[in-house]
Structure formats: C-alpha cells, structure tokens
Structure 1
C-alpha cells in the first residue's frame, strides 16, 4: 500500500460515460407566437394610427412617418417575418447604432419607429438591446397598452413596499422586459424565464438587483404557479458535479480531463464537497493547466525531470509574487493522485494502467511538511498573542464605525438627491438629479467638508455591520 494517497474509497467503478458529462441547463420556455409575423406594412401602420391617436397632430404625423420608414427598411432585409428581419438588421448591433438610412438628422426616426413597433409587439428586442438602449418611455407605453390591469396591480403592490421606490421601478422594468422579450402574458411567465433574464443581465457585467422583488410581485398577482416562495430558492443551483468542477478550468487535453473527472469521482465518496472542490482546483488548475501553459501539447503523466522541477518552483510563488504559504498541500495532492493511480492500476489495469506513471513528488520533497505545519501553527499563536490585548479596542472601534455608518444611511435616505446633510460635524451630499422621475440605482453619498471620495451608504453600513 502506498504511504501517501491511501484513501477509503468505493471499488473502482466502470468508466460510466455519464460521469464525464455535466448536466445540460434547462432552456427557458419558448416565446409566444407573434400575430404580427406575416402582417403587411399597411396592417401595422393602421394599428399604429390607433396607438398614436392620443398625441397631438404634429407629433402623430412624425411618429407615423418614422414607423413607416423603419418598416420599409426592415422589409428590404432577406427574411419572411418581421422578427427575423429585425434580428438580421437591428438587434445584433451595439447600443446607439442606426442603419445608414437614418444617420444624421433622421436618427430620431429610427428609434421612434422601433419604439412604436416594440409597443405594438411587432418586434421583440433581445435583452442586450434593451439593456443597452434603455427605452424607458417605451416600457411605460407598453404597460398602458398590454395587460394594463395586471401592470396597474403590480404598481399598486410595489408602492406598498415602504422605502423602496427605486426597487419598485426596477422590478416593473424587469417584468416589462420579460413580457416584451417573450411575448407572454404575465401569468404565463415561468421561473426559467426569470433565470434566463438574470443570466443575460450577468453577462453584461451587471446584476438584476430587483429581480427577487419582481419575482415576489409576480407571485402576488397569481403568477408563477407552483414555484418556490422566493427567487433565491427557485434559482438555487446546488453543488456542482465532478465534471462541472473540472470544467471550470481550460484543460486542452481531453483524455487527461476525463482521467481527472473519473479520479475525483472515485475520491468523492470519502470527501466532503469543499474538499473535492479544492482537490479539483489543485489537480486541474495548479497542476495540469499550469503544465499545459508551459508545455503546450503535453498529454502524458510521464513528466520530464526539468518540467517537474520548474513546476515545483512555480507553485511556491503566488501570481502577485508573494510566497505561497500552503504549497505543500499541492505537493501532497499531486503525490496522492499519482500513487492512487499506481495502486488502482494493479486492481483494474484495463482502466488505469495507461495513466500509471512514476510519481514526481518524492519523500524528500515532503520532508519539510511537518516542519512547515509547526511554523504555521506558531504564526497563528503569535498573531493571537499580539491581538488579544487589543480585542476590546477593536470591538469598540467596530461598534463606533457601525453606529456612524447607520446614522449616515438614515440621514442619506431622508435627504433628496442633490441635498446636503450633516453627521457628527461632517457635511455630506447625496448625489443625483433632483428631478421628479429620476430613480437612483444606488444611495451614493459624497463627503464635502472635509472632501472625500463618493461611496454607497447602503453598502458602507452593510460592511460595517459584518465587520
């Protein structure tokens, strides 16, 4: 039996192909059918006249002209339905893009005409287009035209949440985007529609902060039948499979990737989830991906001595140049990996023999492991002895910081955007535009006396609480 790498494990299992495959994400339900797909230009323009009746004659004439010109532009694109023409011409483009026909003084016609088509439901922009162009006036008009009673009830319920007008506005915007994109009734939306929206938002580098509130509002009007009580429960992913843990890292050699997956699957019954996740990171990222980066095309565990020595030197240093304190854990994990494969190759040579190789981590490499463990414990004890006399002062400072951050947050909430307030003799300005329809995305505050950097009062209070 090997001295290192001996683990209590299940008998070597057959190489089940299912172990190698990560679960396929469930796609969102398909969008609803669009009754405008095969409508003529005259049919769409006739419906737009009804939509524009509420405007004054000059405005109505301009919007009608803009809609006609956008429809004529879309009609020239090689597709059979309006939505496909839109996806060919306008949706893949970056925010603010206009076709050559609308460059210059006619730019307004493009966005005005597209806005009318969105309100009618003729075209359904993608989430990236909606995120980039942010047609808030289109959302308001869309809610007045489609499911007006349901959206009115949502607005009433959202207004009942005291102190969260920003989240109420964002939640309504999220639900409007969902209905525009999917073409569904509010009561037909599925949990997977919301998770798809969250994924699209995250892909842009932003977070859908009011998505959980939108989920609650949708459930309050009878939507999402049978769904969990909260969006967090509905979107919980749970633990990753072994294949997903390994696939977090860009392993070029597919056979080696499969060996790592099967090895970790064998080890998993004897380890908790955090341990198997850490082991997958060591073997995949710090060991094999590092070797592939410095030795492109490598496809064997039989490593050259110079490659092994170079790898041992690299893992002693962090990417920022500081020494790695726990590099010996990587040596132990790699040694266990090699010795386990050697031992399993004797039990089932048809599965493991081709990957059995001499272990590059010798006992001499691990000779200082016990000594390093004692040094680590000594550093911990020294840190405790140094900080223990200062504990009462640290606690008092943390409590004072939390108290001040809480009072700044309360004062900032009471102040209007652009208004100043004073806390503990220091003067602060709540940033933003003091307009009627402006909805801030964060409660930002900037010290003015003395001057200082702007910060989010909500985040500051939250961090002070956890500190």
Structure 2
C-alpha cells in the first residue's frame, strides 16, 4: 500500500488507513439500524446451548454477562434481573367522598312512607329496650315528623333544612318550647332519624344534636357487618380506651355526615376528615380499615405515611428539570428506569444525569440533539460543573463524572443486544481517564475520615484504640483513680493527684453518671479488709456490676499507707 500510494514514510500511510472514531460510530449505527439477520449455527451445536450463550438470540436476562471496561466502570447488562418499578406517591390526596349513586338505606326507602309506618318501624327496631325508652322513641319520632310536615318542602330533608336545623347555632332541642322532657325525646328521635338515614344532617347539626348513645344505635340500625367487625378489631388493637372511643365516635360521625357506608370509604376520605379534625382518632382506625380490606392494599400502613409525599416515578423526577429535547428526555427515563434497583440509586442518577449533565449541556448548546458532544461543549460543561448554582465551588464532582462515564458504555453494550432502541445513541464518552485520575485516593481518604469519626462500640474498643492513655506506673486498670483514707481523718475526701499520677482524659461516654465504690469502704460505710476484697471488687466492676453502672471499666483502688 505504501508503494502504490508512493508514501515516503509508513506513518503517512497510517493517516489514510486508520478509521476515525466518528466514522466508525456512524457505520456502526447504520449497521444496527438495518434489519437484523438471524444467527445461523451448524447442526452439530445444540440449540439450547446456542440460545443460552448467544447475545443476539437471547439479549436479555442473565445471559447478558457484564463486561468490565475499566477498574471504575462496569457495563451493566441489557436487562437486569431486577429493575426498579415506577414509584408511586404514598401521599393520599384528601378529598370529600363523592355523592354515592345508591345511598345506604338500611331500612329501605323511607321517602314515601307515612308517619305511622315510620313510628311502627322504630318500635320494632327498639323492641329489646325498656317500655319507657321505647315509648320515648315513638313519641319523639312522631312529634319530629309532624313538626317537619308543617314546613314547606317536597321531602323531609328539604323541610329539615327549611327549619334551619342544618345551620350552626340551631338544635333540634329548640323545637321543644323549653320543655325538658320533649327536649330529651326530640334529641333521641333525631339521632334515630340520622342512623336510619331518614335525614342527612350536616356536621354542625350532628354536633348540635348530640344524640345519646349514637355510637351504639348507628351500627345497630345500619344493618352492616363491617362496623361490628371494625369494633371487634379495635378492641384488640393496642390503643387506649379514650382513643378507642374517639375512633368509634368519629367513624360514626363521618359516615353519617358524608352519607356513605363503611364499604364506600375511599382513601382520601379519612385523610380529609383527619385534617379537619386533628386528634380525632382516625390514625388508630387507619391500619384496621386497611387490614379489613376497606382501604386498598396499596395505601400506606399508617395515616402519618399517607400524609407524607412519598416516592415519585422516574418520569416525575426527570420532568422536574424541564429538559427541552424530548427524545433525550425519553432516553434518560428508559435508562434510569432500567439501571436503578433502589430509590436511592434512582435519585442519584436523576440528579447526576439530568441536572448535572444534560441540563447544563442544553444551556450551553440548546440545539444539541444527540450524545455526541464536541470538545468545546465538553470543556464548557466541565467548567460549569465546577461551580454550583449559588456561585460556590463544587467540592465533589466524582458523582456526575462516574454517572456519565457509566452512561455511555452502558449504551454501547445495550446497543449490541437492542440496536433498534439504543444504537442511535452510541457515542464516545466525554469523561477521560485523566478526569478520574485521583478518584481512588479521594475515596480512600473519605473512607479513612469516616472510620476515624466512627464512635467506638463500647469502652473496650476505646481502650484498645487509645494506647496513649494507658494508666501510669504500668498498672493495668481503667482511667479512674481514687484514693480515700480512713473516715474522720484529715484527708477523707479524694486527694488531688500528683503530676506523676495524673489520671488520663476520660473517654467519651453517653449514659448515666458512674457511681464508684472506691477504697476499702463500701456504700454502707463498712470497711473491707484484705486484698481479696479489692480484687473481688475489681472483678465485679469488670463484669459491669458491683458499683459502676457503666461499661466494664475496672477501678484501681489505692490504699493509704496508714491503713
């Protein structure tokens, strides 16, 4: 070739025979954009083995073995065994319940029934109570219905609202004309009418009525097994008696005011009611409603978690940065969804690839439509990355560099398996080895600082890690030195240590103040005799008993020369 081209030196020929990287990538992308040819193997090979070890025939799953490109970057498989599902918002939007198509009517449709029929129905429902209580219910219901019949309106609900009983400041007891007996009867009858779904009250009307024993009458008249099951579960739930009563009371109140049954409860209704009534006990009822199947299984386990905005989907996280190029945005979404196996990795990839990489590239060159970045754009991006948005220098740029360094080789690897999806995005990586030259040293120093700042697990670890604080005079005991003389002597209090016997610095300890038994005297003031007492005390202290309520730090007991 050199002779034909008449080149004087072989290096001149190499200029014409070496394929440029851009040309190679263009030809490679053009090749993969074409129709894929099926692999043909000799009949002597087993078909299952070829399918298992072939990249083109089985390009997904565990058969895609990762290729190590350097000591820092690992090309990931085209389809990992486990991929992160799209995040779902754990926050439940508080919303009032919609008007049900079929409102609960436990005793049937009562809109067209007469007063006598309703009174007879009330008498049948309260047949197990005393005669006087049943008579009060019948008389109160009859007077209430006759009083509403005198008002204008087509239905009893319209007449109830026409009287003004749905507004705050009005109560059903105002219709008793000051008679305490009829006040009690009308209040009891109004509670029964609410439980029978004969009248749909507002929250102000229900609160002003304050019907007696309403939490017992409502489940009995609702003809629904769910309230009874809820009450049984709540009795076994670890909650106080006050919290249990509050949960039952507010549950009956919410179902009455909203005009729904317990089976019609949606996740947004308890949150909406709990926001309007803090401390109402709905938090205790939430896990029970979830276990009973009233709330769907995907809702959080607690009401507190339902109020907190949880994990977002990959699309929502990427769209926060408002990327202009829709195709690159879709590429990043697909790549991050495949690469992230946990939410922490997902959040880091979105931050490094979207905000720290492509968002800056679009600000530098808004017309950038692919991943082939020119040298000027790469240098401008690296310079912009060194400075944060607030103008301060960025201390750690290894995260964005490593994410981009893995992004490009992953696309190259996946393009071999799925060229129609990833082939057009194959390009040379803008991160060079020189950009990560001292990365391993920075990582090692970071790990050393983290290890140095890690607190010891116990006192023995501190003692082993601090050889410079060994006790003086070669004695093997803990850094607490105390001398005590005979009681009543001039030096009965702890004496000041001499410079040669100065105790070392006290190790860091979080806990109760140590109480020491020092010298030959116990806590009762009795003197211990013999050296065995001191040795026994040291053994007790070493086992964490005897007198020091701290980790096992033995105490040296120095006897006075006169003792």
From the two aligned structures, give the one with the greater helix fraction.
1
Provide the TM-score with structure 2 as the length reference.
0.41
Structure of larger gyration radius: 2
